[in-house]
Structure formats: C-alpha cells, structure tokens
Chains A and B, each alone.
Chain A
C-alpha cells in the first residue's frame, strides 16, 4: 500500500494557493486531508496516491495524465457511483472514494502478471477462437476482471431537465472563449458562456509568467476575465459541460445537478484540444504527465510531484514549466528537443540557461523506464542513431501540440477534416471562424495551437462575427 504523505506547498514565494476550507475525504478506509478547492484527483495525488486505476487488459498501473477530464485514467467510485472522473470532481467533506476493484486492489493488483504473460498482445480475435464457448468465457473473464466498476449502490432520483436560451452561446471559457463572449455581449447580445472547470481563463490560470513583456501574468489575466465576466451581463455557467448536440436543435449541458437544454441563435465553439502523449514504450507509467497537467498541479493546486523532472519539448509551455518546477525545488535533470534550437522565446531560454538546466538538442524520446513506478527516461539522437542517454527521474512532462476537440462540431453537422496545421481532426473554419454550419463558429486551440495573444485576438473577432446581425 501507498505511504500517505502531504505533498502540498504551503509557502510559495510568489504564488498563493486559494485552497478553501479544509475537508476530510475517505479513501479506501483511510481519512485523507483535502481542500474544497481541490479536485479529488489533486487531493489524492497530494496524499501520495500515484496509481489511480488499473488498465483493462494488462492491468498496468495508470496515474494522472491530463488532469482535465479527457484521459479517463483517474476514474473511481465516488459516493457509490462508478466511473467518476476524479479530476473533474471537487472535494466535499465526507466523500467516500474507492478505486475500481480488480483482483486485490489497484495499488497491488494480483493480475499484473497479464502484462508479462501477454508480452506481445492480448488478441481476443486469435486467442482461443474455438471452441466458441471457451472464447465466450474468456471474453467474459477479460471484461469481468477489467475493473470497469459495478452498478451504483442504490438508484438515485432523476432530476428535472432545465431549459435556457440566449442569442449567442459560447462553449469553453479559455482565453478565446472569454474574449468571444465579451465581444458578443458588448455588441448587445445575450450571451451564455459554458465552462467545464470551476474557474475561467483555461490554462492561463496555471501560467505564472507574463504572457507578454510588461503585461500581466496568465494567473492575473484569468482573474481579470473572472471580474470582467462578473461585471458583464453574460451568464457564465461554470462547472458545466456541453456533452452533446441533439438534432432537435439544442446543446445538452450537464452540471452536478442534471441536464440543461441550451438553445441559441449562434454557437461559438471554443472547446480547445486534448493533451497528447508520446508514442514510446512506458508512455502510460504513472508520473508521465502532459505539461499542461503538470502546470496545473504545481501552479494551481500547489502540489509537488517529485524530486527530479525530465521534460520533453522546448516550447514556452515547457520552459515555463521548468521554471515553475525549479521554483519549488524540483531538479530539472534535462529537457529534450528534436531540433537544433529552443522553440520557445529567448527570454525563457536565457533563464533556463542561467539556471544551468541541460537541454539535449537533436534528441528524441525513446522510452520511459520503470515497472510500477517511473524510474527514468531514455533519449536518443533524432536522426535515428543508436546512442542512448539514460536519465534518472521521477516525473516526466510531455509537451506536444494538442489534438483539436472536434466532437461537438461534428454532432452539429460541421465538416471535419484532418489538418496538419491544426494537429489532427479539426472543424473546417473559414473567415471569422465560420464553419460549414451557418450558426456555428469555431475559435481557439480547436483550430490549432497559438499564442495566448493570438487566441484572444481571434476570440474578439469571432465573438463579434457571431453577434453581427443579431443586434436589435
């Protein structure tokens, strides 16, 4: 079993963490300290829990990866309900949290051997296909042992469905979405802004550096958005997720109380992207994080993830992460870069250099090492050479351009294409974010990675375009 600790940073020289009221959660029979402004995933991680679930076929340990409700590795049984994403669930006093049962428990799973027995693969198309009965039994066994959760302990009441309408609906309150909502509101439209997180500003909220010289930090900007939205007529639905578009003509939203039907004359999608992982062996080891997740863990929740970190990629995001991690005493054992130069800004690069953090140019990731725990990372020459550099570390941050979120746009009938520029399947958007559906606009990272400044600028443009023609 894991050792219960407290990895929170209580004295940070430049950041104040607003953790809120202290509460107690019950995790597998133990009482753990938690805070009201922490997600369950953050509180568990802060207590030293690394293995959040076991994978379905090979029973490999799975830790936090994206911390934004997208990777599904953190799902647990919460207050008797299975399959709850703990990174999107906020701590409340007395919450009862269990990892989904496999055989034994997730931290010491007795079926871990399946990872070694099926060294190559567990292929149920070719493993014992006959006799059919045996195959059926095998399939049942695989599914049964997968730890997918059991039905809730009791039937819960069904809440009424609520309805809400506006001229413009903006989905996603990152920098692009906030700007779009403000622009549409200033143009005289009624605006509803939907955000899955409890706070607005998206990833700005875990960005302590200035986003441009002499300007505000990301964290300050996120707070400014909150104030500007509060001062406006915009209805900001926080802690609310748009989970579907139904052809009857409404977006379906869910908050913790139930479903809301949202109808608007124009929809602005600003739903961002999904963090990508490296395609190298060991990529699913606990403590291999997306860089955005690690920024959130460190700068928003104030949790120390380890003692030695290796970072893959030299964009501003990773360089800033390196600075944030070294601020709290984590040694940066290296940053790898496929190419010959740093991709991020000079100012960050100089700072990294002055702190003596080694950057491995012309090196690509080869593998993450460890069985149940991350022990190190291996890199090799980008040109395919055979030399290897093995680096000891207990945290890895992966910074790849995110993959666009496309699902809502697809459900709304917009054309979706694979776009190299956007970094994956993305909605086709023309001038001012217009999609092939005349009432749907798209903006922000769902159209490809961009700087915060660019995202804001685009947001203003698209918000105004969506409002055009709607004013009274």
Chain B
C-alpha cells in the first residue's frame, strides 16, 4: 500500500514528487510512457512566463508568479538550463493600447516585478528585428527561457534520489475507491494507495471523472512549432509575444536556452488526445503569424517542427486540490500554459496538501540538489583534457551537430531514471537535436544504448513501445 501514487511523469507530476520527497512517504510516480517528459511537458514554448496574462486572484496567476520566482534557484539546485531573457508583448497600433495597458495592470495586480511599457524607439533599440510598424510593447524582465526536458528530468531524478519510486510503461485503466484509499488497475497489475495525485495532463479529466460525479472536461489544444538552427538563435534576444486573444498568447518568437530560435504555437482544439501531429495549415500559420511581429525570420533554417497538446480545462484555471466527492484524490488538472512556469509552485502546493492530509514528517535525508549531466563544453581546456584522460569516452564525439560525447550519453543512460531510447538520450543530452536531426548519430547512439542496457539492437526504440528502429537483418525474409 502506497501513501501516494502520482499519475503522470510530466512536470506537474515530477515537481509534486520532488516536493513530496521532502517528507517521509511511500510514494510512486506511474507513467504510461517509457520515460518522464513525454507529453505536454516535452512540446511547449519552453518559457518561464512573467505572470501578467492570468486573471488577478486566480490560482493560475498566483502559481505563475510564484513558479517564476522559484525557477532561478531551482535551476541552480537541480542544475538545469534557465535564463531570464525578458519578454516583450508587441502592440502594433495605437488603437490596441488599451489591451496592452490592461495587461500591464493585470501584471501589477499579480505582483509581476519590473513591468514597463516601452516606446517603439526603446523596443527597436532592444530588438532591432521587431517590425517597424509597431507602436509599443510591454516589457517583463522577469520572463525567462528554460530547458523543459531537463527541468522535468531533474525534478524526477531528484525525487527518485530522495526515495520516490517511478514505474514506467504503466497505464492506469481504471480507479476504484476502497476503504483505505484507491485501487489503480493498470496494465501492470493493481496498485493500492491511500492518496492519488492526478497529474495526467490531457487525460486528467478521464481519471477525475472515474472517481467524481462533478465531471470536468479537458480539451487537447494543439500548438504547432518550428525550431530553427542555432545560426538563427540570435535573431531576437527576448521572447516576443503578440497581444493575447481568446485562444491564448498567440505565436511567439523566442530564443531557446540552448541557442536555437523557436516560433509558435498555434492553438487548435482537437478531439484526439494523442494528436501530436503537425499539419500543413498549422505550420503555414506559424510561419505567417510569426512574421507579424518580427522581420526576416530565416525560415529556411528550420531544423524540425513539432506539436504539443495543452490540457485546456473548460474554466481555463488550474484545478489543484482534493476532489470534493472523492476524499484522497488530489487533482492537478487543467495545467496548461503557464504550467511549465508554475510547476515548482504546483509541486509545492500539492506536497503541502499531502503533508497536511497524511500528517507527513520531514525526510531527514532529503538532499535538495542534483548534478546534471556534465557538459564538457563548460569546462576549461585543462579540465577537459584531464576529464578525457580519466574517462576517454569524453573524447569521443557522437553527435557532431551538438558536439555531444559518448561520455555524456553513457551518463544519461546510467543515471537513475536513465535514458532507454533515442529520444530519452536526446532530451537528456541533446544528441540528435541539432541540424542533421540524428541522421549521423542515431546508429551510434543505438550501439551505445544496446551495449549499456544489455539489449539487442532490435530492442532499441525511438520512444519506447513499438517505435523500433530496425526490424531485422538483411535478406532475412528472402
């Protein structure tokens, strides 16, 4: 019998697990995919929003601002890339100024620090590539950019190091209320637990509705993006937003924390909760709308495109707390943007609820820091030579585009909650994330995975399940 089962290994689940690991608790994260960070958390704008969008007084507003504040220290404690690059909401003409003013006032009410409305001249000085026919912009210096993969992975690793279990490839099929708590029926058997944290992203309504008569409804709202080569990464330095509309914050143009340029997302409500396909219309929209605010985006430098699904709850608010008619079932639902930004605060809130309910004691062995995968590019030449001398695998480049060594890939595989697939290696090390999109390194990374995991090349997958890379040997069917 577990004290707590957290359904979902995205940022909400992982942050909840990590905060919960501050206490003595028997808890486990269960995830239907083969790794953490496989849903909404892996395909988003990678932004730490300042917090001026959400309605004053809403939970979304509170957790956004709190999460943004926590992110910097968390990035140091857990060693993941984060940078406060600031954001600009661009107002193209004078008649839209009331909307910009409104945003400014909301930001003040939400407690966002350093907000200013900049004149056209000030904006152009800051961002020369912003379009000339603009009027003003709302500047938020506290906005940032973050590596969503390493944020998620760092939270999970740290939770695991502090005693939280993780079960992968485990899909919850049904939930039954029992006297002591809940029985979770999964493809890997029945799991009993006193408390459930429902951090299931676009599926959170499904699990909520299994235990509650007060139904909620979550729509998968698709966002499509294009990612550009690092040669385009300095096209803008801050995150450039358009004035928000009913479907969200519009198409943004932002540098990534790794030096690429990201444009997107669209916002289209879809039926299929697995519908992470990009579409011609969507990508065309990304291209045309990104040009509204920023000049000459070098779209020929696109290296990949992708789509993510926002978990949009009908009320457009985070639903975090015990379900009124299902004692012991803690929702963490409707976590759409600014969910990534808010996740440190979401985790804190969920853990506090559980601490109260379960009467948890502090975990005296809790270690709140974690070392990420060593990036040799951050070392001095002397340090790097010493490292290769000790561990020659750090002298062997596997991914030429991102200059990732065999040493980093081995580290990604061997560490707790390690990589098991090409995508797992990619999210942890960036091997395969560069301009050739794994054309060169994937056979080599497969060999390393095969060797390290002790499985044959036929078992190596792109992303778990049936995503096998090779299906047989030459002439085996002849």
Are A and B associated in one complex?
no
Q: Contact residues of B with A, CB < 8 Å?
A: none
Q: Contact residues of A with B, CB < 8 Å?
A: none
